Amino acid sequence: MYEKTIMLVEDSSDDIVLIKRAFKKCCIGNKLVVARDGVEALEYLFGKCEDSGQYKAALPAVVLLDVKMPRMDGLETLKQIRSHSRTAHLPVVMLTSSDEERDKIQSYELGANSYIRKPVDFDEFKDVMQHLGLYWLKMNELPKQLGGTKWTKKYGY
């Protein structure tokens, strides 16, 4: 009844297409939720129904977060995610073009779970995406609070 989703926060439409393709190529069929910047991402994560006061969306299994984005960039978004109790331990993978040392340091300081540089070579890129999907969706285990049990039940792990 419930499938783990992947959330992608990315402003480049090219990258969205390529990432989707990469997931498809390596047979990761989970639902991909796309937000075009940090503001949209936070709206998705913290949006509530007006009548019930419940959160609209279940938490994704992992958030792939681009660093450089308009409106609210990746680092600020990460900070916001970590400052809310609901998402304090949500897996967040920084997915970026930059290999700037300071971006890496800041990301880890703010509590990123991983920092991955998007390779230019699509073959490599595909490999990275495969690893990512495999690791965060299949290997990594989450506590109940983050929706771990249901997932485990469904897939029988």
Partner 1 sequence: MLDQLLNSANYYFNPYSFPMFITALLVILLGVYVFIQDKNLVSQSFLIMTLSAGIWQAGIGMMYLMRDTMLILSFYKIFIFLGAVMIAPGIYFFTASSLGLLEEKKKYVLANYTIAFAFYIMSLMTDWLVRGVNEYFWGPYVLYGPLSIPFLFFFFTLVIRSLLLYHDSIRKMESGIKQDQIKLFTISLAIAAVGSVDFLSCFPPLEVYPFGYLPVLIFISLQTYAILRYKKASLSEIFGAMEDGIIVTDRNGRITEVNHSVEKITGLRRQDFLGNNVFDVFPLIADKVEDPEKVEALLKEITTKPGKISDEDITFIEPALHISTRSSPLMDRFGTRSGSVIVFRNITERKKLEGELRQYKEELEELVKVRTAELAASEEKYRALVNHAQVGIGIHQDGRIVFTNRQLLLMLGFREEEFIGLSISCLIHPDEVEEVMSRAWNRYNGKEVIDTYESQLIRKDGSIMPSIISNAVVEYNGKRATLITIVDITESKLRKELEQVNQELEMFAYSVSHDLRAPLRSIDGFSQALLEDYEEQLDDEGQDYLRRIRAASQRMASMIDAILQLSRIGRYEMRRKQVNLSALAQDIAADLKVTDPDRQVEFVIAEGVVASGDPTLIRTALENLIGNAWKFTQKHENARIEFGVVRQGKKSIYYVRDNGAGFDMRYADKLFAPFQRLHSTAEYKGTGVGLASVQRIVHRHGGNIRAESAVGKGTTFYFTLE
Residue 5 tokens read as 């989703």
36-44, 87-95, 118-126, 146-154 -> range binding partner 1 (CB under 8 A): 118-126
Coil, strand, or helix at residue 95?
Answer: strand
Asked whether the beta carbons of 81 and 90 are under 8 A apart, the reply is: yes
Binding of partner 1 by 67 (CB under 8 A): yes
Binding of partner 1 by 130 (CB under 8 A): no
- What minimum distance in Å lies between the beta carbon of 131 and partner 1? 17
Taking the C-alpha atoms of residue 115 and residue 1, their distance in angstroms, rounded to an integer, is 32
- What minimum distance in Å lies between the beta carbon of 98 and partner 1? 5
DSSP letter (8 states) at residue 151: H
Sheet of 62-65, strand order = 31-35, 5-9, 62-65, 92-96, 114-117
Toward partner 1, which CB reaches closer, 6 or 67?
67
47-55, 81-89, 90-98, 136-144 -> range binding partner 1 (CB under 8 A): 90-98
Q: Summarize as ranges the residues that interact with partner 1 (CB under 8 A).
A: 12, 14-15, 18, 21, 67-68, 96-101, 118-123, 125
